[in-house]
Amino acid sequence: MKTDNDQRVAGRGLRQSMSGLHTWAGLLLGWLLYAMFLTGTVSYFKEELSQWMRPELPRLAQLPDPAVVAQRVADEIGMLAPGTAQWSLRLPDTRNNAVNAFWRTSARGPGQRGFEEARFDPVTGHKVVSRDTLGGEVFYRFHFQFYYMPVVWGRWLAGIAAMFMLVAIVAGVITHKKIFTDFFTFRWGRGQRSWLDAHNALSVFGLPFHIMITYTGLVTLMALYMPWGERAAFKTPAERQQLAAELSAFSQPGKPSGDKLPLASVEEMVRQAQARWGRDNVGRVNANNPGDATARIAVTRGDDARVSMSPQYMEFDGATGKLLAVHDGVGAAAETRGVLYALHLGRFSDVTTRWLYFLVSLMGTAMVGTGLVMWTVKRRAKLADPARPHLGFRLVERLNIASIAGLSIAMTAFLWGNRLLPLTLENRAYAEIDLFFTVWALTLLHALLRPAKAAWVEQLWAAAALLALLPVLNALTTQRPLWHSLATGDWVFAGVDLMCWALAALHGVLALRTARHGVGFGRTTRPRNAEPRSDDRGAAAAAATGEAAR
């Protein structure tokens, strides 16, 4: 493969070399990209999933006044963590039934900063007790930093994968010349050609989204990936602080004066923010040095009605309650970053837009999946002995099974673990994560041991069964079965249950089709000459993508 690659580059023009680039950039990190895409897609409903995974926390049918909630929780934190240098709380909204808060604890060792976090009931202000779980955070964190490795390594790995994705997208667009005239072409039941059409369709329909999501993904962590400008420009911490202020409403607490002064009314500060941004559009309340004469409170704007994550907040003197400044704009580049960041996270979206995000992102997942499968489909027809494929082929084929069908099983098993693991288990939140990866590893083992087609079918059925039975398990293990959630209009719980069934149906259909046709097992051997020549696209597509197979 490698040896004639360069001849191809030298001899056969741009589209062929781009096709090779597309194929190999896509394949090398394709399994990782598939997992990043799927966990990222699910993370658009991170808050809802977190609620589902903490069934003990009651549904918030009506949102209490955020100003009152802020005061309640601020008082509670004041009692739990007197003398903390910083706390921050996020007010509940339509997607959150609890107040998430964290605060600094005294350093555990030199150079270390300790944080503690908790959830509070917005109605009582008290800490809520629920099963020990990271909830939807698990898929979210996996999406950009993975597990079982230092966070920074994981983020670099995610960044490299995203760069490969970006290159694969651009190379794919160049490869596929007739991208728009072929927009609505699908040739059914033609093996390799059908896979190509499906892959093209999934890629082209969502192309603006795929480019946006990949580029903005890099932007979210760009300070890590491209620190050189910052290092060259800023020599002192004060200068760096200038940059930080363009990016976030958080600031490092200054040195406390030592004069104790109680915090002024947080409720009053939030009221002023509400007057500015709307009753339910206040995001966080951050306090630096609360209880000291130098206390500062920042009340930030919520995510609604604004496609930007750039910091907008009101800054108050914590001791007197006086408004010190309103930060409502940053520089042009910082605002651009804020917009791109927000586009990636999609937190601003209303329910409909969120579902659109979810569906298009699911198409992106399918794009990566069909791309991975296509690699084997194209090569199967050319195998010297299809009964005994070479090692590289077998490896890709088995990894495909475990990373596509296996991931569905593992993610669902993780949700089963949330309901079934004993509540008293030590480190239960991490036991859930271990379960996720153990099941995933087992699917790889299964894929390696079984014949490829059988492995696909069995794993797809397993995923379908686990998904279909999850609402049943939920009904048996919680007080919030589907009929109850439907009757009370609890759309978070009903939504997860119904989505499980929809996804179970999808996996069932895929299992049936695979059992009948195989994943490109049957009809791919149709010789290319048999393509009707009137089909001008067939020739172009074969020239563009078929070459990569050699």
Interatomic CA distance for residues 149 and 462, integer angstroms: 29
Is position 56 an interface residue for other proteins (rule: CB under 8 A)? no
CB–CB of 166/36 below 8 Å?
A: no
Q: Binding residue for other proteins (CB under 8 A) from 201, 266, 282, 447?
A: 201
Q: Does 444 bind other proteins (CB under 8 A)?
A: no
State in Å, rounded, how far the first CA of the chain is from the last one.
Answer: 7
Q: Are 397 and 416 in contact (CB under 8 A)?
A: no
**Least Å from the CB of residue 331 to other proteins:** 4
Contact assessment for residue 507 and residue 464, using Cβ atoms and an 8 Å cutoff: yes
Q: How far is C-alpha 380 from the geometric centre of its chain's CA atoms?
A: 33
Q: How far is the CB of 548 from other proteins (least distance, A)?
A: 12
The residue range among 53-61, 144-152, 233-241, 279-287 that interacts with other proteins, by the rule CB under 8 A, is 233-241
Q: Is 2 in the site for other proteins (CB under 8 A)?
A: yes
Q: Pick from 128, 134, 167, 179: which binds other proteins (CB under 8 A)?
A: 167
192/180 Cα distance (integer angstroms): 20
Q: Which of 292, 295, 296 is nearest to 260 (CA)?
A: 292
The only residue of 147, 234, 437, 501 in contact with other proteins, by rule CB under 8 A: 234
3-state secondary structure of 514: helix
Q: Which is nearer to other proteins, 108 or 533 (CB)?
A: 533
The token pair that represents 314 in the structure block:
């009101």
CA R_g for the chain: 26
232 binds other proteins (CB under 8 A): yes
Told to check if 243 binds other proteins by CB under 8 A, we report yes
By the rule CB under 8 A, 3 interacts with other proteins: yes
H-type alpha helices, 206-322 = 207-220, 222-225, 228-233, 237-247, 266-277
> Is residue 502 at the binding interface for other proteins, with CB under 8 A as the rule?
no
- 500 touches 442 (CB < 8 A): no
Q: In whole angstroms, how close is the CB of 217 to other proteins at the nearest point?
A: 10
Please report, as residue ranges, which positions from 272 to 331 form the binding site for other proteins (by CB under 8 A): 305-308, 331
Q: Which stretch binds other proteins (CB under 8 A): 98-106, 228-236, 282-290, 438-446?
A: 228-236
Cβ–Cβ < 8 Å for 495, 94: no
**Separation of alpha carbons 260 and 166, rounded Å:** 53
Say whether 405 sits in a helix, a strand or coil: helix
Of 183, 320, 328, 522, which lies in the binding site for other proteins, with binding defined by CB under 8 A?
Answer: 183
Nearer to other proteins, 6 or 268 (CB): 6
Q: Of 359-418, which residues contact other proteins (CB under 8 A)?
A: 359-360, 363
State in angstroms the smallest separation of the CB of 48 from other proteins.
Answer: 18
Q: CB of 244: closest distance to other proteins in angstroms?
A: 9
- For residue 285, the SS3 value is strand
* One residue of 147, 209, 501, 521 binding other proteins per CB under 8 A: 209
Minimum Å gap between C-beta 2 and other proteins is 6
Tell me how far apart the alpha carbons of residues 521 and 386 are, in angstroms, rounded to a whole number: 10
Residue 30 makes contact with other proteins by CB under 8 A: no
DSSP for 27-51, please give it.
HHTHHHHHHHHHHHHHHTTHHHHHH
Among 79, 110, 111, 228, binds other proteins (CB under 8 A): 228
* Segment near other proteins (CB under 8 A); pick from 4-12, 251-259, 475-483, 485-493: 4-12
How far apart, in whole angstroms, are the C-alpha atoms of residue 264 and residue 267?
9
**For residues 208 and 262, which CB has a smaller minimum distance to other proteins in the complex?**
208
- Asked if 506 interacts with other proteins (CB under 8 A), we say no
Question: According to the binding rule CB under 8 A, does residue 238 interact with other proteins?
Answer: no
**355: which DSSP letter?**
H
- Could you give the residue ranges of the DSSP H alpha helices within 280-390? 332-345, 351-380
Contact 432, 131 (CB under 8 A): no
Question: Which range, of 90-98, 104-112, 209-217, 268-276, touches other proteins by CB under 8 A?
Answer: 209-217
Residue 301 — φ and ψ, nearest 5°? Answer: -75, 150
454 near other proteins, judged by CB under 8 A:
no
Give the range of 72-80, 358-366, 420-428, 486-494 binding other proteins by CB under 8 A: 358-366
Of 55 and 364, which has the nearer Cβ to other proteins? 364
